[in-house]
């Protein structure tokens, strides 16, 4: 069911959004009714019974069985309805379709890594075929995160050392925001991603392209793209400014001091090691917080990043 | 306002009579004990959860607890509850020296309890059976054996802190009794101390089988 | 000051205040600490709103922002709202309403205040020595790993918990044992019933928070591993432990507020409260159910669907007694004689705002919608509507109501009306927009945000300034009134509860004679109050 959104809700773009929004609107309209009732009565009484002179004795009627039963029973019935309606849609949201395509989602501070069944992986961009149920298998490498796509009305916490699951089926082509919804530190509000729902053909084409590398383009251009797509910019600058990790400007070829006190040359091997095993040699003055890219970066991509870093040295 | 001469010194100004004051104290102490039950309750829940998740490990780890020492401690605490109750009874009969004797006995037994615990703890420290990241002992079969000892130290540690606090209160009661501040008409603080001490004993009576007598 | 023999003036000297056993003085001591905490928490809030006025960095970076929202929550919850009405108002009013000379355990009462101050100082120390960035909820494993003064802050909260427990214990025993002759249970004012229900929660829930914090501290210092998945522990277990206290805690916040509202509506409608027993018992119903619903904070935590269903169902139950109270208050106003002085304006504001807060709770107890709304600004808006729109409105309503009794002075009624209006308008501007932000997908605890949320955030931030102006005005006229306000009579509002039968301010011993009940607290159909 498609939804076009309202004052409160964004347009729904998943198969469950319509159901969720219907529940939301039910609670909303009932709530508005009771709110208006309460405010109206309060305003009416204040005006109608406004004190005009020193009050004498007022009415001692402090019971009305019919009224009290009414305002106990009707709300009770209403909340049971809310419960049932909410629970039924919740069941639909929790029971994962048997034919769902499974994508592994790994959350780490502060990015999303996706592993597709075809052996492809991506960072911060979840590409899915439209009108296909997708099951996300979620786990974290560090603290608790939460996988939230507002347009799909899907949310599930992502835990360390444990798997949680959720599912969705995008029902229109487009790009939808993915946000982390469980506070996880400095980069929590920047741990953003995009879910890209594509036609089945486009998805297949994307899968192909995702595994390949265009060798006619200079390597450092690829490196520059990877600097963005692999989210290196989250912690490294290219203009010499300090950040969570060392700046890449004028980095290559330098002699770096490590937190152990040893000195090391920033050469191709050092950069490669820092990408695959970042905690092995940590630069002095920086925390060992870089996540590893082992398993989610290809060798040729490492070559491209090294080329890019080299290109950031200023000519003397 | 009744400021007449027949208002005893131990009757606080905001109470109308001694019975009201004593009742209030009793109710207050029972409510306080209820909070203590909830406090330890949280740890009992943690114990239950982790024992349910690691039943064999708990069984294997508990073998390293000394059942003899644990049993002696149980008898020691139960006896101390008896002496505590007897000290109150003595004051009800107006026997100050007897009250003091029983209070001293309770204090002594509490010391014995803590000394035995000291020996148990040092032995564990010696073996490396320490909580959490300090755990180095390798003899226990099962995953994450440190959890058993972490919970053991947390629960017996919290209990030990309560025993120590109780000892200070008993010393205070000894001082007040020696200064003749109690009588058969007024011994409420002794009663309150007794209630607290019985709870401390009761908690141990639950801890003992849960840790020492598994399986 | 007013009457020569009043508790403010007798006995004299700083030492007589710091070693006082007089519940009225202890209430004032608490009021000072609580007010300062509210101001600190408010400043933190204004800084948060200033940073959020646009997505770019405005005044602070992400790490500092994370500390700001953590401290705003911790300060407001543990230093202001949980002690709030019970400590600053309950302490003053409870014995007077009961016709008693003091609370059951005056020394314990003073000790509770010292514990509160010690906890406050430790919290302030932790703020300046490393601070905390975990959120007031301290979720593991983030809280066990992050640097900062987490141990100091959690120790401060642990200590503050005892202040809460001892206050609840004291009030419970006082209510049982120190009622004036003739004051049977059903002749007590409803504020007392509310304080009693609150005390039950304080007594039963707070120790569980204490042990949770102890376990967190042990995890951080000794690495005991019960919340660390790598060591066989479970981070979600922390959430269970934490919310087992923290859900009932929100009823510690709202029940006294509802008690205040009962008093305000009865007095300013000059009418017998409708459904006395229903209101009294609903407080206990709410207290009881509050212990059964903690899992509604964890619908997306990975807990089982069955658990979520049970918690959702039980959560709905708590709506019923709350709704009953609102209807009873409205029915009280029917055929009353309503006067709109400032305390009543705060109470009417409560009815408006708490209704929104309570009704929006429905979205969150409904499973399907909570999945979308959890951890978004919708939740932030909901809890501010109930805690601020509910408790804070009642706190200031009660403060204005009992102000003449406390100080023997009246405040400026014109400026008081201006203040409540500004707070009401500012509050709605600040927080209503947040319902929309949340439903549109804006998560909470975000330092920056997607551009489509800018307009609503800007509107919200402007609202916060309007609120702040209202509070500044309030502080000024309240402080002014202490020294220069018109002298207040014994019973300026014409109320029938017992605290209005003694002078304003009361003498140190509360009453000039031993009190005996002569009429019920809401006998507006039988007795004429001695208004002056």
Q: What does the pLDDT look like over C258-298, one tens digit per residue?
A: 999 999 999 999 999 999 999 999 999 999 999 999 999 99
Does A210 have pLDDT greater than 90? no
| A91 contacts in chain C (CB < 8 Å) | 305
Residue C170 contacts residue C226 (beta carbons within 8 Å):
no
Neighbours of C39 (CB within 10 A): 15
Task: Spell out which chain B residues touch chain C, with contact meaning CB-CB distance below 8 angstroms.
Answer: 1-2, 12-15, 20, 23-24, 27-28, 31-32, 34-36, 38-43, 45-46, 49-50, 53-54, 131-134, 143-144, 146-147, 150-151, 154, 158
Q: Using H for helix, E for strand and C for coil, what is the string for B154-201?
A: HHHHHHHHHHHHHHHHHHHHHHHHHCCCCECCECHHHHHHHHHHHHHH
Do C and B make contact, counting contact as 3+ CB pairs within 8 angstroms? yes
Is ipTM over 0.90? yes
From C227, which residue of chain A is nearest by alpha-carbon distance? A160
Strand partners, A129: A198
Q: How many domains does chain B have?
A: 1
Does C117 have pLDDT greater than 80? yes
Q: Is C180 helix (H, G, I), strand (E, B) or coil?
A: coil
The Cα–Cα gap between B13 and B5 comes to 13
Interchain contact A190–C (C-beta under 8 A)? yes
Please answer yes or no on whether B38 and C207 come within 8 Å at the CB atom: yes
**Residue with the two structure tokens 């009953």:** C324
C366, C524, C531: residue with CB nearest A86: C366
Which stretch of B137-151, C269-283, C365-379 has the lowest confidence by average pLDDT?
Answer: B137-151
In C75-189, which residue ranges form alpha helices assigned H by DSSP?
84, 91-98, 106-128, 142-145, 150-177
Q: Is C531 helix (H, G, I), strand (E, B) or coil?
A: coil
Chains in contact with B, where contact requires at least 3 CB pairs less than 8 Å apart: C
Q: What is the distance between the terminal CA atoms of chain A, rounded to a whole angstrom?
A: 62
Mean pLDDT of all residues in C371-398: 97
- Interstrand relation of C486-487 and C409-410 (parallel, antiparallel or unpaired): antiparallel
Confidence of residue C2 (pLDDT cuts 50, 70, 90): very low
Give tens-digit pLDDT for C162-215.
Answer: 999 999 999 999 999 999 999 999 999 999 999 999 999 999 999 999 999 999
Q: Is B24 helix (H, G, I), strand (E, B) or coil?
A: helix
CA distance B126 to chain C (A): 17
Give tens-digit pLDDT for A49-71.
Answer: 999 988 889 999 999 999 999 99
Chains in contact with A, where contact requires at least 3 CB pairs less than 8 Å apart: C
Residue C310's Cβ-count burial label (10 Å; 0-12, 13-18, 19+) is: middle
In whole angstroms, how far apart are CA A259 and each of A251, A256, A285?
Answer: 17, 10, 7
Domain A101-211 has CATH 2.60.40.420: yes
Optimal mutation site among B25, B28, B134, B144, interface C, most CBs of chain C within 10 A: B28
Optimal mutation site among C231, C322, C372, C496, interface A, most CBs of chain A within 10 A: C372
| B158 contacts in chain C (CB < 8 Å) | 214
Please answer yes or no on whether C215 and B154 come within 8 Å at the CB atom: yes
Does C4 have pLDDT greater than 90? no
The CATH number of residue B145's host domain is 1.20.120.80
DSSP C424: H
Q: What is the pLDDT of residue C5?
A: 84
Q: What is the pLDDT of residue A308?
A: 94
Mean pLDDT of all residues in C18-44: 97
The Cα–Cα gap between C127 and C70 comes to 10
Mean pLDDT of all residues in C115-124: 97
DSSP B90-117: HHHTT-HHHHHHHHHHHHHHHHHHHHHH
Backbone angles phi, psi at A157, to 5 degrees: -65, 150
Neighbours of C200 (CB within 10 A): 23
Domain contains B41: yes
Please answer yes or no on whether C528 and A57 come within 8 Å at the CB atom: yes
Does A208 have pLDDT greater than 80? no
Mean pLDDT (chain A) is 92
Please answer yes or no on whether A46 and C376 come within 8 Å at the CB atom: no
Domain contains B18: no
Return the closest-CA partner of residue A16 out of A96, A76, A113.
A96
Q: Is C208 helix (H, G, I), strand (E, B) or coil?
A: helix
C176, C210, C232: residue with CB nearest B27: C176
Q: What is the pLDDT of residue C162?
A: 96
Laid out side by side, the sheet with A101-108 consists of A121-123, A111-115, A101-108, A134-140, A164-168
| C440 contacts in chain A (CB < 8 Å) | 8-10, 150
Q: What is the pLDDT of residue A161?
A: 85
DSSP A121-167: EEESEEEEETTS-EEEEEEESSS-EEEEEGGGTEEEEE-BTS-EEEE
Q: What is the pLDDT of residue C1?
A: 42
- Interstrand relation of A101-108 and A111-115 (parallel, antiparallel or unpaired): antiparallel
Domain A219-311 has CATH 3.50.50.100: no
Q: What is the pLDDT of residue A204?
A: 87
Residue C101's Cβ-count burial label (10 Å; 0-12, 13-18, 19+) is: buried
Q: What is the pLDDT of residue B1?
A: 46
Q: What is the distance between the terminal CA atoms of chain C, rounded to a whole angstrom?
A: 18
Give tens-digit pLDDT for B58-114.
Answer: 999 999 999 999 999 999 999 999 999 999 999 999 999 999 999 999 999 999 999
Give the domain range for residue B207. Answer: 23-212
Class of CATH domain C20-501: mainly alpha
Do A and C make contact, counting contact as 3+ CB pairs within 8 angstroms? yes
From C234, which residue of chain B is nearest by alpha-carbon distance? B50
Confidence of residue A193 (pLDDT cuts 50, 70, 90): very high
Task: Spell out which chain C residues touch chain B, with contact meaning CB-CB distance below 8 angstroms.
Answer: 95, 100-106, 108, 165, 169-170, 172-173, 176-178, 203-208, 210-212, 214-215, 218-219, 222-226, 231-234, 237, 241, 509, 513-514
The Cα–Cα gap between C35 and B205 comes to 46
Optimal mutation site among C368, C386, C523, interface A, most CBs of chain A within 10 A: C368
Long-range CB contacts for residues C275-279, cutoff 8 Å, separation at least 24: C275/A62, C275/A63, C275/A68, C275/C324, C275/C328, C275/C331, C276/A62, C276/C186, C276/C190, C276/C522, C277/C186, C278/A68, C278/C324, C278/C325, C278/C328, C279/C190, C279/C193, C279/C324, C279/C325, C279/C328
A9, A51, A58: residue with CB nearest C524: A58
Task: Kindly list the domain boundaries of chain A, sorted by start residue.
Answer: 1-45+63-95, 101-211, 219-311
CA distance C361 to chain A (A): 10
Give tens-digit pLDDT for C322-357.
Answer: 999 999 999 999 999 999 999 999 999 999 999 999
Does C149 have pLDDT greater than 80? yes
Percent of chain C residues past pLDDT 90, beyond the cut: 95
Task: Kindly list the domain boundaries of chain C, sorted by start residue.
Answer: 20-501
Please answer yes or no on whether A42 and C330 come within 8 Å at the CB atom: yes
| B151 contacts in chain C (CB < 8 Å) | 224, 226
| C300 contacts in chain A (CB < 8 Å) | 146, 155-157, 181
| A57 contacts in chain C (CB < 8 Å) | 524-526, 528
- Measured at the alpha carbon of residue C25, what is the angle toward residues C21 and C30, in degrees to the nearest 5? 110
The Cα–Cα gap between C288 and C259 comes to 17
| C435 contacts in chain A (CB < 8 Å) | 8
- Interstrand relation of A125-129 and A193-198 (parallel, antiparallel or unpaired): parallel
Give tens-digit pLDDT for A132-190.
Answer: 999 999 999 999 999 999 999 999 999 998 999 999 999 999 999 999 999 999 999 99
A39, A56, A93: residue with CB nearest C371: A93
The Cα–Cα gap between C326 and C314 comes to 20
Residues 59-98 of A with CB under 8 A from C: 59-60, 62-64, 67-68, 71-72, 75-76, 79-80, 82-83, 85-91, 93-94
Q: Which two tokens stand for residue A157?
A: 């916490």
- Measured at the alpha carbon of residue A263, what is the angle toward residues A262 and A264, in degrees to the nearest 5? 125
Optimal mutation site among A189, A241, A244, A288, interface C, most CBs of chain C within 10 A: A189
Q: Using H for helix, E for strand and C for coil, what is the string for C255-290?
A: HHHHHHHHHHHHHHHCCCCCCHHHHHHHHHHHHHHH
Please answer yes or no on whether C359 and A31 come within 8 Å at the CB atom: yes
Does B140 have pLDDT greater than 50? yes
- Measured at the alpha carbon of residue C302, what is the angle toward residues C296 and C306, in degrees to the nearest 5? 60
CA distance B25 to chain C (A): 8
From A60, which residue of chain C is nearest by alpha-carbon distance? C525
Q: Which two tokens stand for residue C480?
A: 């002014």
Provide the number of CB pairs (under 8 Å) joining chain B to chain C.
124
pTM of the predicted model as reported, rounded to 2 decimal places: 0.89
Please answer yes or no on whether C207 and B28 come within 8 Å at the CB atom: no
Q: Is A263 helix (H, G, I), strand (E, B) or coil?
A: strand
Mean pLDDT (chain B) is 93
């Amino acid at each position: 069911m498609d939804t076009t959104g309202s004052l409160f809700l964004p347009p729904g773009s998943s198969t469950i959004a319509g159901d969720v929004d219907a529940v939301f609107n039910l609670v909303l309209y009932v709530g508005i009714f009771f709110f208006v009732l309460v405010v109206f009565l309060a305003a009416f009484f204040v005006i109608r019974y406004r004190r005009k002179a020193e009050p004498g004795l007022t009415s001692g009627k402090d019971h009305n069985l019919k009224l009290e039963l009414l305002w106990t029973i009707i709300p009770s019935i209403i909340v049971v309805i809310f419960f049932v309606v909410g629970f039924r849609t919740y069941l639909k949201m929790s029971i994962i379709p048997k034919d769902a395509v499974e994508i592994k989602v790994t959350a780490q501070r502060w990015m999303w890594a996706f592993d597709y069944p075809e052996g492809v992986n991506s960072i911060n961009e979840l590409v899915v075929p439209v009108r296909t149920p997708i099951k996300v298998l979620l786990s974290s490498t560090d603290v608790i995160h939460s996988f939230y796509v507002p347009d799909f009305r899907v949310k599930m916490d992502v835990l360390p050392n444990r798997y949680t699951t959720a599912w969705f089926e995008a029902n229109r082509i487009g790009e939808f925001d993915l946000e982390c919804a469980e506070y996880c530190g400095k980069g929590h509000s920047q741990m953003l991603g995009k879910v890209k729902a594509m036609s089945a053909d486009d998805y297949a084409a994307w899968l192909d392209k995702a595994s390949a590398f265009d060798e006619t383009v200079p390597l450092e251009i690829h490196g520059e793209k990877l600097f963005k797509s692999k989210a290196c910019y989250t912690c490294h600058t290219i203009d010499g400014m300090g950040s969570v990790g060392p700046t890449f400007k004028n980095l290559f070829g330098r002699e770096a001091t490590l937190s152990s006190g040893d000195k090391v040359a920033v050469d191709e091997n050092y950069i490669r090691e820092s990408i695959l095993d970042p905690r092995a040699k940590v630069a002095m003055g920086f925390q060992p917080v870089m996540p590893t890219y082992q398993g989610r970066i290809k060798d040729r991509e490492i070559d491209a990043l090294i080329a890019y870093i080299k290109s950031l040295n200023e000519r003397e | 306002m009744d400021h007449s001469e027949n208002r005893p010194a131990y009757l606080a100004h905001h109470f109308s009579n001694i019975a009201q004051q004593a009742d209030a104290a009793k109710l207050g102490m029972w409510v306080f004990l209820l909070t203590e039950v909830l406090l330890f309750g949280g740890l009992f829940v943690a114990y239950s959860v982790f024992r349910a998740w690691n039943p064999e490990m708990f069984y294997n780890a508990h073998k390293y607890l000394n059942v003899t020492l644990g049993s002696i401690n149980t008898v020691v605490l139960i006896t101390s509850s008896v002496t505590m109750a007897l000290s109150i009874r003595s004051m009800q009969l107006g026997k100050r020296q007897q009250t003091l004797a029983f209070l001293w006995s309770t204090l002594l037994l509490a010391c014995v309890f803590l000394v035995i615990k000291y020996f148990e703890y040092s032995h564990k420290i010696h073996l490396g059976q320490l909580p959490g990241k300090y755990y180095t002992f390798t003899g226990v079969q099962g995953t994450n054996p440190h959890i058993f000892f972490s919970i053991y130290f947390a629960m017996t540690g919290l209990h030990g802190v309560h025993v120590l606090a109780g000892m200070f209160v008993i010393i205070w009661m000894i001082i007040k009794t020696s200064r003749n501040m109690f009588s058969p008409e007024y011994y409420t603080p002794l009663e309150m101390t007794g209630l607290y001490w019985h709870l401390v004993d009761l908690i141990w009576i639950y801890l003992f089988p849960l840790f020492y007598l598994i399986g | 000051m007013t009457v020569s023999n009043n508790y403010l003036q007798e006995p004299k000297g700083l030492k007589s205040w710091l070693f006082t056993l007089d519940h009225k003085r202890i209430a004032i001591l608490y009021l000072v600490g609580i007010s300062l905490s509210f101001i600190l928490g408010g400043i933190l809030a204004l800084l948060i709103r200033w940073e959020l006025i646009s997505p770019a960095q405005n005044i602070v970076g992400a790490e500092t922002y994370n500390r700001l929202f953590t401290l705003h929550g911790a300060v407001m919850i543990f230093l202001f709202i949980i002690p709030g009405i019970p400590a600053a108002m309950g302490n003053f009013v409870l014995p007077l309403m009961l016709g008693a000379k003091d609370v059951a355990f005056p020394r314990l009462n003073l000790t509770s205040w010292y514990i509160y101050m010690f906890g406050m100082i430790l919290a302030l120390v932790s703020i300046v020595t490393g601070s905390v960035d975990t959120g007031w909820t301290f979720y593991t494993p983030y809280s066990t790993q992050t640097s900062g003064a987490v141990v100091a802050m959690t120790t401060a909260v642990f200590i503050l918990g005892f202040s809460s427990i001892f206050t609840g214990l004291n009030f419970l025993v006082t209510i049982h044992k120190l009622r004036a002759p003739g004051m049977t249970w059903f002749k007590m004012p409803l504020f007392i019933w509310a304080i009693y229900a609150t005390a039950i929660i304080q007594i039963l829930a707070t120790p569980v928070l204490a042990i949770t914090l102890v376990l967190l501290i042990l995890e951080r210092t000794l690495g005991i591993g019960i919340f660390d998945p790598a060591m066989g522990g479970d981070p979600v277990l922390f959430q269970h432990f934490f919310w087992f206290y923290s859900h009932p805690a929100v009823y510690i916040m709202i029940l006294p507020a509802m008690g205040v509202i009962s008093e305000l509506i009865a007095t300013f409608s000059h009418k017998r409260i409708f459904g006395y027993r229903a209101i009294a018992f609903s407080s206990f119903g709410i207290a009881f159910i509050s212990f059964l619903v903690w899992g509604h904070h964890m619908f997306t935590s990975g807990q089982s669907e069955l658990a979520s269903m049970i918690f959702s169902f039980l959560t709905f139950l708590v709506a019923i007694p709350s709704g009953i109270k609102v209807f009873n208050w409205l029915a009280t106003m029917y055929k009353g004689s309503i006067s709109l002085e400032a305390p009543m304006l705060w109470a009417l504001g409560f009815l408006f705002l708490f209704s929104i807060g309570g009704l929006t709770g429905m979205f969150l107890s409904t499973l399907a919608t909570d999945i979308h709304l959890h951890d978004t600004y919708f939740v932030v808006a909901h809890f501010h509507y109930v805690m601020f729109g509910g408790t804070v409105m009642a706190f200031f309503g009660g403060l204005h109501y009992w102000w003449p009794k406390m100080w023997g002075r009246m405040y400026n009624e014109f400026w008081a009306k201006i203040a409540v209006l500004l707070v009401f308008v500012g509050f709605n501007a600040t927080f209503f927009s947040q319902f929309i932000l949340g439903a549109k997908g804006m998560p909470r605890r975000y330092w920056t945000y997607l551009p489509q949320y800018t307009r609503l955030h800007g509107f919200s931030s402007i609202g916060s300034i309007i609120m702040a102006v209202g509070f500044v005005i309030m502080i000024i006229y309240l402080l002014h009134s202490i020294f220069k306000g018109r002298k207040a009579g014994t019973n300026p509002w014409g109320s029938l509860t017992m605290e209005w039968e003694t002078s304003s301010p009361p003498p140190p011993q509360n009453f000039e004679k031993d009190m005996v009940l002569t009429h019920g607290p809401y006998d507006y159909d039988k007795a004429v109050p001695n208004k002056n």
